[in-house]
Structure 1
Amino acid sequence: MPCRLGVQEGSVGSITAHHNVKFHQNSTMEKDLSSPFDHTVISNANEMQCNRNADDNGLPEDSSKHTKRTGRKVGILSHCPKRLVALKVMYFGQRFYGFSSEGNIEPTVESEIFKALERAKLMVANRKESCYSRCGRTDKGVSATGQVISLYLRSNIKDVGGDMLDERSEIDYVKVLNRILPRDIRVLGWCPVPADFHARFTCLSREYKYLFWKGDLDILEMQKAASKFIGEHDFRNFCKMDAANVQQ
């Protein structure tokens, strides 16, 4: 799973993160979905509790009317079937104050994603209760071509037992969200993930790349310094480490 980041103002960087899952893109692209289906991440609910104004693709006919009539928060459908889903996202970060929403600084990529999730009525709980996780954060102006987030989303799957169900009957999360998101944020794919999946801590490895405008830089000296990082090393001094989440 690639996760690439771009740093502006004189340099370009990239990071590749690897998860042991395969992302389902959409009906016009990758058709094969080999990720294991985990029935533990799906819950039954009374279908009649779902918002009747949501169409087959998950988009509301008129969310403003729904808000005025019920007083409930738009986009939170807590009584619908749900499943834990990983989304692969790309974005051009020029106009954003980073990926994560912290404080009242807007816009951020994360805030735009959650606005789209709520408008599409895919949310089944608030951010904390939906077990939301992200592979990483990017700073102001930084872009990505493979950021990964995971959370519980509304699902068309209603049977929690028996054989594996046909994924083609599931909501097309890619199509639904891309119809709502701004053009500088795109969802590239999705896949069901097991209940213990965490976008950050389940990541197997990350590969970083940094590209610089040549200018008057001494490329040979930079290559010599960079060569010291090649291979397996103890990089604990380059990161904040939680021993409980380190895999041997």
Structure 2
Amino acid sequence: MRNIKLTIEYDGKRYLGWQRLGDSGKTIQGKIESILTQMTGEKIEIIGSGRTDGGTHARGQVANFKTDSTMTREEMLHFLNQFLPRDIVITRVEEMPERFHARYNCTGKQYSYYVWNSPIPTALERNHSFHVAQPLDFEKMNEACKKLIGTHDFIGFSALKKTKKSTVRTIHELTIQQEESMVHFTFLGDGFLHKMVRIIMGTLLEIGTGKLPVTIIDEIFENKVRANAGETVPSHGLFLDAVFYE
């Protein structure tokens, strides 16, 4: 049996997220599985590198599936992009060793979050960025970013209640780039907890607008209380850029 890896790009605006639900037609996983089943004549279930929330976008989501199909990789790529909705695109099809697992073999991920920082909103970028009208203090936000880099228990920056699994993660890079009104935040780490990027973003923005002090980062790491962090920002400004493997 073959093990096929897909690299996937999607606009999450119309979908309830990655994970297949009862109404699979409204999820990314459900849409892709439906076309793969049609393509192979087999009941296909795909394994994603992780879930993305409803409204979140991806440039480099990764998934794998097993099949007995004899189609070439090029034929699969053409078939999938012919029949998938236009807001879901397969950018690459690869043949992988039998033991490859899109989730368990992942060693890191990169996310981007986009903020439109202007008193005047944007019509063209409204579905792919979060509008913040107030001026932002970039010096304070960069100071906060430095505190977030490294290995920490990020439970206070997540939507998790209680879990037996480790909530320690490592953020390797957290950078801010500004191009006129668009502000691009990049997160590179070994993994991210549920809504962790969106909660960190809410905290950074509240630091940037003066609602929270920079020292709140240290306090949250110490007391591990989610309520002390900022609001969870909307998902439509979030992109999964890349998933990394050894």
Q: State TM-score, norm by structure 1.
A: 0.52
Q: What root-mean-square deviation, in Å, do the aligned CA atoms of Structure 1 and Structure 2 show?
A: 2.7
Provide Cα deviations, 1:24-58, integer angstroms capped at 9, x if missing partner.
xxxxxxxxxxxxxxxxxx3xxxxxxxxxxxxxxxx
Q: Percent identity?
A: 29
Q: State TM-score, norm by structure 2.
A: 0.52
CA drift of 1:234 comes to 3.0
CA drift of 1:211 comes to 2.6
| Rounded Cα–Cα distance in structure 2 between residues aligned with 1:125 and 1:95 | 25
Q: Which residue of 1 aligns with 2:31?
A: 112
Contact residue 135 and residue 147 of structure 1 kept, 8 A: yes
Alignment map for 1:73-84 (pairs within 5 Å): 83-84=2-3
CA drift of 1:229 comes to 2.2
CA drift of 1:236 comes to 5.4
Q: Which residue of 2 aligns with 1:173?
A: 76
Bigger fraction of residues in strand? 2
| Rounded Cα–Cα distance in structure 2 between residues aligned with 1:196 and 1:241 | 26
Residue 179 of structure 1 aligns to a residue in which SS? Answer: helix
CA drift of 1:202 comes to 0.3
Q: Which residue of 2 aligns with 1:63?
A: none
Q: Which has the higher contact order (CA 8 A, sep 6+)?
A: 1
Q: Which residue of 2 aligns with 1:99?
A: 18
Amino acid at match of 1:93: G
Question: Quick check: 1:86 aligned with 2:11?
Answer: no
Alignment map for 1:33-112 (pairs within 5 Å): 42=1, 83-104=2-23, 106-112=25-31
- Greater CA radius of gyration, 1 or 2? 1
Contact residue 85 and residue 150 of structure 1 kept, 8 A: yes
Q: Which residue of 2 aligns with 1:142?
A: 56
Bigger fraction of residues in helix? 2
- Please point out which of 187, 198, 213 is paired with 2:116: 213
Task: Give the count of matched residue pairs.
Answer: 147
Q: Which residue of 1 aligns with 2:141?
A: 222
CA drift of 1:147 comes to 0.7
Residue 187 of structure 1 aligns to a residue in which SS? Answer: strand
Q: Which moved more, 1:90-99 or 1:221-230?
A: 221-230
Contact residue 116 and residue 181 of structure 1 kept, 8 A: yes
| Rounded Cα–Cα distance in structure 2 between residues aligned with 1:107 and 1:180 | 16
Contact residue 20 and residue 29 of structure 2 kept, 8 A: yes
Segments of structure 2 that go 5 or more residues without pairing to the other structure are 118-132, 170-189, 191-246
Question: Quick check: 1:124 aligned with 2:42?
Answer: yes
Segments of structure 1 that go 5 or more residues without pairing to the other structure are 1-41, 43-82, 158-168
Residue 91 of structure 2 aligns to a residue in which SS? Answer: strand
Contact residue 5 and residue 63 of structure 2 kept, 8 A: yes
Residues 193 and 236 of structure 1, relative CA distance in 2, 3 Å threshold: farther
CA drift of 1:206 comes to 1.6
Amino acid at match of 2:137: D
